[in-house]
Chain A
Amino acid sequence: MVFKVFFPICCSAAESGLLVGCWIPEQNSVVILAVIHFPFIPGQVKQYLSDVQHVTQVNMSVLGSWCNSKQEKEEGLDKFLEDLGAIFSHNPWVLLSREKGSKFWNCSTIWKRSSGNEEDEIILVYYDQRKVMLSELHPPENLATSTHCKADDASKLTAVFDTVAKSKILFMTDQYDDGPIKLTHWQSEGVEASIIVELMKQASVPACTLMTFLLSVVSSICKSRVLKFWPLSFIWSKLSTCEQLGHRLEHLQTISSIRKAKTQAQLMRKANIFVSLLVDVALGMLLMSWLYRKNRIGQLADTLIPVADHVAKELQDLLQWLMGVPAGLKMNRALDQVLGRFFLYHIHLWISYIHLMSPFIEMILWYVGLSACLGLTMALSILSDIIALLTFHIYCFYVYGARLYCLKIYGLSSLWRLFRGKKWNVLRQRVDSCSYDLDHSLLALCCLQSCCFCCPRLHCITWCLLW
């Protein structure tokens, strides 16, 4: 039978010593877990191994010797190693040695039985201790139906995996522990390098608690009843800055919550929010440093007013064009004039308002620029709000146009039903016939005609303004 030796990769550079591991006689294989370095007292080693065995429930024992000769081969070492086999009596005794400058390893076994004289084949299997420890071998699903040979193989490997996984406690001791025995095996990187991280971990809990408290105070203020009345709540819903602030508050609450992230996805989410916050603030700072240099705010304020004036002038030109004969369409003149003057007056009002504001615009911009330190997105949302406020008249036109258009369509449809002597029955959700009185029909007819003949005009104005 083939003799298998499972050897951890991390031990290939270890100094000479004893091989410690587990002997699985059913499979005729040896799983090496660690290497014990040379200056040792055999009694201590035995004591240590029995302690470990007690904790891990793995049948650990000294399996052989490991020789990593850095210098020239010494005389008598081979003999010494073989003698060790007599001290730690184990059957079989594995002799592994690696020579300097040579790629080849020597591996041999000494069987106590005199009958075991036959030369066994030996297979040396390297394994990554950490990966094997963390992983678990799942046997194939269709175990019963597949060949038994494969199932056996799988169970053998499972035993190896189990052995390594069970001896996890062995790997917890790190290389700086001053024990009586020096071991080489896989181990974590040690805690000393991450003292700062540890300190931060310790400090983060009270910091998070404080932040949570502050944030809950802020959010309770935001949610208070006073701010929920009709005009205010409407304004909040329209301003993008408020929305942005709400998002930001939510993010901060997510980050600073003391509860531990349960799944990997949650942890990633937290980290993602944190990093985006940092990047946001950094960009905001950059923007601020750019804005407050060389009086750029003043320049911006100086260009803003002419732009608003220009837009208003363009709008006025458009309205004048609409009040005439737009694109050769002859329209209802009276309605034209009324609507056109109404909109012109609106623009006039707006322009005078902006001119009234102009001395303060620079100051406003200066204070608004400070908000960039809260993050670039905050600055952008405030910018969008400012633009929305500056073009409020256009929005008003849009609302008027849409309302008029809706009213007209609705009126036309119902008046057309009336013209045909029908009406919409609300209870049955259908159109019924109905005999109207003479005065009703006359009144409706006049309205219908007004609607009909004003229709193209309104269409034209509405579409132009909506555009």
Chain B
Amino acid sequence: VCAQLGISSRQHWQKVLYKRQPFPDNYVDQRFLEELRKNIHARKYQFWAVVFESSVVIQQLCSVCVFVVIWWYMDVGLLAPQLLFGAGLVLSLIGYVLFDAIDSGVGRKERGQTRWSDLKSSLVFVAFTYGFSPVLKTLTESVSTDTIYAMSVFMLLGHLIFFDYGANAAIVSSTLSLNMAIFASVCLASRLPRSLHAFVMVTFAIQIFALWPMLQKKLKAQNPCSYVGVTLLFALFALVGLLTISSVGAILFTLLLASISFLCPYCLIELQLLKDNIHGPWDEAEIKEDLSRFIS
């Protein structure tokens, strides 16, 4: 040790690999811990801001809930398909007008989308779904109903898991989540009494799983106050719908929503205090530049 110290006093240690130095490979000097940093990525969260952000999850949960409730009504025959179709049409038109009105048509111009193309694609939808509904109806005839239910549950869960809530993670895939939702809707629709029911059900699924989140996203970006109002209304609607089917389910769903929107943000903020991340020269190298523009 004395000899080593003698050497180190004479020769200064450098953190480089290209020089031959009289130190062992794992040698570090006293300055090693000087570069230690703690919690550099920790953020200070505001409680209400977190609650506001969690509303996306609430919305999606409510969408699934509303979809299942509507399906149940159709299955038992309490809701006529014509009525649902009419309501869906009217609501879609209102949403379409709103969609343009929120940013006064700026987004549409940016994407170069015309009203004609919108109309065309919606017509294709309706025609195709209508034509295919008898096939969809008979497709799963020989499959057991329990299998269908299990498959739908898994698909809806997958939809909730893979949905794009705004997080930047690898698991997020909006196409996959939408596909899974529509798959579930087709599965459930095949259990309805007639092919018209199936057609209306699939249309409704597209409205609530594809169009409704688009409107929400825009609303949230442009007009946060009204977004909160819409979310509350939607959640209330879902809860009431569920209450008419089963009170226990409604209570559980309320608890779930409350825990997601209030308990989880509270826990997040509380647990931030316990955060103890250390950073230093031993960290892996990180590529700072955004390379995604080269990849795509």
Instruction: Report A's interface with B, CB cutoff 8 A.
Output: 330-334, 418-421, 435-439, 441-443, 445-446, 448-450, 453-454
**Residue pair B173, A449 in contact (C-beta under 8 Å):** no
Give the shortest distance, in Å, between A416 (CB) and chain B (any CB). Answer: 10
**Residue pair B173, A421 in contact (C-beta under 8 Å):** yes
A192 and B64 alpha carbons, distance in the complex (Å): 110
Give the shortest distance, in Å, between A430 (CB) and chain B (any CB). Answer: 13
- Known A421-B176, A437-B121, A445-B186; judge A330-B142 contact (CB<8 A): yes
Q: What is the 8 Å Cβ interface bit string for chain B, positions 107-135, against chain A (1 contact, 0 not)?
A: 00000000000000100110011001001
Chain A contacts for B245, CB-based, 8 A = none
From B53-61, B177-185, B235-243, the one touching the partner chain is B177-185
Any chain A CB within 8 A of the CB of B143? yes
Q: In the complex, given contacts A333-B141, A439-B128, A453-B139, what are 18 additional A-B residue pairs having Cβ atoms less than 8 angstroms apart?
A: A332-B138, A332-B139, A332-B141, A332-B142, A333-B142, A419-B183, A420-B173, A420-B179, A421-B176, A421-B179, A438-B125, A439-B124, A439-B125, A442-B182, A445-B179, A446-B128, A446-B135, A449-B136
Chain B contacts for A435, CB-based, 8 A = 174-175
Any chain A CB within 8 A of the CB of B50? no
**Residue pair A449, B186 in contact (C-beta under 8 Å):** yes
**Residue pair A450, B175 in contact (C-beta under 8 Å):** no
Looking at A330, A333, A442, A443, which has the most chain B CB atoms within 10 Å of its CB?
A442
A448 and B180 alpha carbons, distance in the complex (Å): 12
In the complex, residue of chain B having the shortest beta-carbon distance to the beta carbon of A435 = B175
**Residue pair A436, B182 in contact (C-beta under 8 Å):** no
Give the shortest distance, in Å, between B246 (CB) and chain A (any CB). Answer: 29
**Residue pair A443, B139 in contact (C-beta under 8 Å):** no
- Known A439-B121, A446-B132, A450-B135; judge A421-B175 contact (CB<8 A): yes
Any chain A CB within 8 A of the CB of B210? yes
Task: Identify B186's interface contact among A330, A437, A439, A446, CB under 8 A.
Answer: A446
Chain A contacts for B136, CB-based, 8 A = 446, 449
In the complex, residue of chain B having the shortest beta-carbon distance to the beta carbon of A432 = B296
In the complex, residue of chain B having the shortest beta-carbon distance to the beta carbon of A456 = B142
Give the shortest distance, in Å, between B200 (CB) and chain A (any CB). Answer: 15
Chain B contacts for A332, CB-based, 8 A = 138-139, 141-142
Task: Identify A449's interface contact among B125, B139, B141, B206, CB under 8 A.
Answer: B139
- Known A437-B121, A439-B125, A442-B128; judge A449-B179 contact (CB<8 A): no
A446 and B132 alpha carbons, distance in the complex (Å): 8
Any chain A CB within 8 A of the CB of B231? no
Interface Cβ pair total, 8 Å cutoff? 67
Task: Please report which residues of chain B, range 115-173, place their CB below 8 angstroms from some CB of chain A when the two chains form the complex.
Answer: 121, 124-125, 128-129, 132, 135-136, 138-143, 173
Chain A contacts for B173, CB-based, 8 A = 420-421
Which 7 residue pairs spanning A and B have beta carbons closest together?
Answer: A421-B175, A330-B142, A453-B139, A419-B179, A421-B176, A446-B132, A439-B121
- Known A421-B173, A421-B175; judge A449-B183 contact (CB<8 A): yes
**Residue pair B183, A442 in contact (C-beta under 8 Å):** no
Give the shortest distance, in Å, between B113 (CB) and chain A (any CB). Answer: 11
Give the shortest distance, in Å, between B211 (CB) and chain A (any CB). Answer: 9
A301 and B114 alpha carbons, distance in the complex (Å): 74
Give the shortest distance, in Å, between B189 (CB) and chain A (any CB). Answer: 11
In the complex, residue of chain B having the shortest beta-carbon distance to the beta carbon of A457 = B142
Give the shortest distance, in Å, between B140 (CB) and chain A (any CB). Answer: 6
In the complex, residue of chain A having the shortest beta-carbon distance to the beta carbon of B142 = A330
Give the shortest distance, in Å, between A415 (CB) and chain B (any CB). Answer: 10
A436 and B121 alpha carbons, distance in the complex (Å): 13
A385 and B172 alpha carbons, distance in the complex (Å): 60
A443 and B182 alpha carbons, distance in the complex (Å): 11
In the complex, residue of chain B having the shortest beta-carbon distance to the beta carbon of A447 = B132
How many B residues, CB 8 Å from partner? 25
Interface SS, A side? helix
Give the shortest distance, in Å, between B291 (CB) and chain A (any CB). Answer: 15
Give the shortest distance, in Å, between B210 (CB) and chain A (any CB). Answer: 6
Give the shortest distance, in Å, between A420 (CB) and chain B (any CB). Answer: 5
A334 and B135 alpha carbons, distance in the complex (Å): 9
Give the shortest distance, in Å, between B185 (CB) and chain A (any CB). Answer: 10
Q: What is the 8 Å Cβ interface bit string for chain B, positions 38-67, against chain A (1 contact, 0 not)?
A: 000000000000000000000000000000
A420 and B162 alpha carbons, distance in the complex (Å): 11
Give the shortest distance, in Å, between B139 (CB) and chain A (any CB). Answer: 5
**Residue pair A441, B175 in contact (C-beta under 8 Å):** yes
In the complex, residue of chain A having the shortest beta-carbon distance to the beta carbon of B211 = A438
Chain B contacts for A449, CB-based, 8 A = 136, 139, 183, 186
A448 and B176 alpha carbons, distance in the complex (Å): 13
Chain B contacts for A334, CB-based, 8 A = 138, 141
**Residue pair A438, B139 in contact (C-beta under 8 Å):** no
Chain A contacts for B138, CB-based, 8 A = 332-334
**Residue pair A436, B175 in contact (C-beta under 8 Å):** yes
Looking at A334, A435, A454, which has the most chain B CB atoms within 10 Å of its CB?
A334
Chain B contacts for A420, CB-based, 8 A = 173, 175-176, 179
A445 and B187 alpha carbons, distance in the complex (Å): 11
In the complex, residue of chain A having the shortest beta-carbon distance to the beta carbon of B125 = A439
Give the shortest distance, in Å, between B49 (CB) and chain A (any CB). Answer: 30
In the complex, residue of chain B having the shortest beta-carbon distance to the beta carbon of A336 = B142
**Residue pair A419, B142 in contact (C-beta under 8 Å):** no
Task: Identify A331's interface contact among B142, B179, B183, CB under 8 A.
Answer: B142
In the complex, residue of chain A having the shortest beta-carbon distance to the beta carbon of B140 = A453
In the complex, residue of chain A having the shortest beta-carbon distance to the beta carbon of B185 = A445
In the complex, residue of chain B having the shortest beta-carbon distance to the beta carbon of A330 = B142
26 contacts between A and B (CB under 8 A): A331-B142, A332-B141, A334-B138, A334-B141, A419-B179, A420-B179, A421-B175, A438-B121, A438-B210, A439-B124, A439-B128, A441-B178, A441-B179, A442-B125, A442-B128, A442-B182, A443-B128, A445-B179, A445-B182, A445-B183, A446-B135, A446-B136, A446-B186, A448-B183, A450-B139, A453-B143
Give the shortest distance, in Å, between B23 (CB) and chain A (any CB). Answer: 47
Task: Identify A442's interface contact among B129, B142, B176, CB under 8 A.
Answer: B129
A437 and B178 alpha carbons, distance in the complex (Å): 11
Chain A contacts for B186, CB-based, 8 A = 445-446, 449
Give the shortest distance, in Å, between A458 (CB) and chain B (any CB). Answer: 13
Task: Please report which residues of chain B, range 191-216, place their CB below 8 angstroms from some CB of chain A when the two chains form the complex.
Answer: 206, 210
A418 and B176 alpha carbons, distance in the complex (Å): 9
In the complex, residue of chain A having the shortest beta-carbon distance to the beta carbon of B120 = A439
Give the shortest distance, in Å, between A332 (CB) and chain B (any CB). Answer: 6
Chain A contacts for B132, CB-based, 8 A = 446
Give the shortest distance, in Å, between B70 (CB) and chain A (any CB). Answer: 19
Chain B contacts for A421, CB-based, 8 A = 173-176, 179
Give the shortest distance, in Å, between B138 (CB) and chain A (any CB). Answer: 5
Chain A contacts for B143, CB-based, 8 A = 453
